[in-house]
Amino acid sequence: MVTVIRGCAVWGDDHAIPAALDDLRKFQTPASARDIEEWLAELSVIVARRQDDEFTESLRLEAYAARLRRYPADVSREAVLGRTWKFWPSWQELEEVCLALAAPRSAMIRALAHRSTPKAPTDSRGDRVSAERAAQIIREVFGEKPQ
């Protein structure tokens, strides 16, 4: 399943929005290199992977840890240990998970930082259809009900 963030609307008073933005930015803190290395070490013993020499193993650990530090700590941990990996994941696989996990938070931060108006929507119910129109749509999609 792919989730695409198309936007994020925010509203509130002039004090609440900056406070929310500040709180969300606090959740952007990356994990320490040591924590990430521990998560990667744990992953290395629970998935199938090719054994390499000590230099290559060390280089892999440093490369993955450096890249995972671009993401908030909870995102990095979830990507490494919160998913089921049959084999050692490529960086592309981990990056896709990190981007998907970080997207909603990033969208909220962008919306809060670049809000144009702090007004609430006038009608939160969205577009409504009548019962007759709903029945017509159901008939068009699924056909007439058998008698």
Per-residue pLDDT tens over the stretch 18-50: 888 898 999 999 999 999 999 999 999 999 988
Angstrom CA distances, 77 to 49, 54, 80, 98, 102, stand at: 19, 24, 5, 9, 12
Instruction: State the average pLDDT over residues 93-121.
Output: 82
Instruction: State the average pLDDT over residues 64-83.
Output: 97
Task: Report whether 11 contacts 121 (CB < 8 A).
Answer: yes
Residue 127 pLDDT > 70: no
In 3-state terms, what secondary structure has residue 45?
helix
pLDDT at site 118: 46
Query: Two tokens at 65?
Result: 């840890």
Residue 86 pLDDT > 90: yes
Q: Report the C-alpha gap between 104 and 83 in whole angstroms.
A: 18
The region of weakest confidence among 94-98, 113-117, 131-135 is 113-117
